[in-house]
């Protein structure tokens, strides 16, 4: 089934037909602050997926906007305060997925390195499918944070100093513990010079997730504004950060959403400019070892029979934390899959096997 995932995925990519569609982005001004909004495509002009396929329609709307001499009006503003809880510590598979995306490490490479860190007593048991921690280990936090403060890595000293040992995140939950708990640093101070490059990078990933448990939740104001201009509706969304919290460890500045000025229904805006955005649907992505591992774990997403979805979700898909990496490695060593740059491709042997099956 793991091989079939890759063969099926490549077939989807091969048979994919791109669909060109269009959107209109309009910029408005409110007290010298720019607001970017997207034209809301009327249902009678869009396809089943809500896309505009006719360029001429977009061109007519754009021309209409350019010649309209009136002002834009805010029809409604909806605001809601939201928060993102601290990310849970790592299970083996979630670490393999993140390390694959960030450093292109194979799942087996991650397992081997984490096994070494475990044997050196720097991190806890690696073959865990759990992302929670036992409550009786909360008392170790002060010692672990002191160790992390001494890591010869940029920002760790500052982060460890800013961590609040009184914060008890959702990760500490005895009811969620399976045979093992999440992977975290141990109370043993790490000798960074003893670690190779892969081990250092993985230790940092694990340490950051642990540190995040002692920062506040990330709080922000989510805003949606509906604007009327030239009898056309536009929607603008924005995110105003109220408290960075744990995201300070993970570059919170990566948020791409605009910051909107304070608006209210009935406010008038000045139209600045508008343009047509050419868009094209994208084919599914090729599998990498880490995304294939994620697909194995979430195999229920690939099954059309609803009666089977829940069963496959309950059993965490194909394989276990300890065996998934080995399954992918075996498919490569037996020449069913090959690694082309960072992507996995099925060989002719794999295609023939699937065809026969």
Catalytic residues: 125
Terminal-residue alpha carbon distance, the chain: 11
Structure token pair of residue 261: 């000025």
Residue 179 DSSP one-character state = S
Residues forming a β-bridge with 74: 227
- Alpha helices for the chain (secondary structure H): 2-15, 55-67, 92-103, 107-119, 141-149, 156-162, 197-212, 289-297, 306-314, 324-333, 348-356
In the chain, helix, strand, coil percent, each to 5? Answer: 40, 25, 35
Structure token pair of residue 167: 């914060």
201 Cα distance to chain centroid: 19
Cβ neighbours for 315, distance < 8 A, ≥ 6 positions apart: none
Task: Give the C-alpha separation, 114 to 47, whole Å.
Answer: 49
Angle, in degrees to the nearest 10, between helices 92-103 and 107-119: 120
User: 25 and 36 in contact (C-beta within 8 Å)?
Assistant: yes
25 backbone dihedrals φ, ψ, rounded to 5°: -105, 130
User: 318 and 327 in contact (C-beta within 8 Å)?
Assistant: yes
Task: Give the C-alpha separation, 48 to 221, whole Å.
Answer: 31
User: 95 and 323 in contact (C-beta within 8 Å)?
Assistant: no
Q: Are strands 268-280 and 343-346 parallel, antiparallel or unpaired?
A: unpaired
């Amino acid at each position: 089934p793991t091989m079939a995932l890759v063969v099926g995925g490549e077939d989807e990519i091969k048979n994919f037909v791109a669909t060109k569609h269009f959107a209109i982005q309009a910029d408005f001004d409110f007290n010298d602050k720019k607001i970017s909004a997207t034209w809301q495509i009327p249902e009678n002009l869009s396809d089943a997926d809500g896309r505009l396929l006719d360029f001429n329609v977009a061109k007519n709307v754009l021309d209409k906007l350019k010649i309209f001499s009136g002002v834009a009006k805010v029809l409604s503003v909806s605001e809601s305060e939201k928060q993102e809880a601290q990310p849970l510590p790592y299970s083996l598979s979630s670490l393999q997925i993140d390390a694959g995306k960030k450093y292109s490490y194979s799942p087996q490479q991650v397992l081997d390195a984490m096994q070494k860190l475990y044997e050196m007593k720097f991190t806890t048991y690696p073959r865990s499918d759990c992302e929670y921690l036992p409550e009786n280990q909360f008392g170790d936090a002060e010692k672990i944070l002191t160790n992390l403060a001494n890591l010869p890595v940029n920002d760790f000293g500052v982060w460890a100093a800013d961590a609040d040992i009184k914060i008890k995140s959702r990760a500490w939950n005895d009811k969620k513990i399976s045979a093992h708990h999440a992977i975290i640093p141990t109370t043993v101070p790490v000798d960074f010079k003893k670690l190779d490059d892969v081990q250092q990078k993985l230790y940092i990933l694990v340490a950051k997730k642990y540190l995040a448990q002692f920062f506040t939740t990330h709080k922000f104001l989510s805003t949606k504004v509906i604007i009327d201009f030239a009898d056309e509706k536009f929607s603008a969304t924005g995110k105003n950060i109220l408290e960075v919290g744990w995201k300070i460890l993970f570059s919170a500045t990566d948020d791409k959403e605009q910051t909107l000025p304070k608006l209210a229904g009935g406010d008038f805006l000045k139209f600045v400019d508008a343009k047509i955005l050419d868009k094209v649907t994208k084919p599914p992505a090729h599998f990498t070892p880490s995304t294939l591992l994620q697909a194995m774990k979430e195999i229920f997403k690939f099954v059309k029979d609803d009666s089977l979805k829940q069963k496959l979700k309950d059993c965490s898909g194909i394989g276990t934390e300890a065996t998934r990496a080995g399954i992918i490695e075996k498919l490569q060593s037996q020449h069913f899959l090959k690694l082309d740059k960072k992507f996995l491709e099925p060989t002719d042997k794999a295609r023939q096997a699937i065809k026969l099956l």
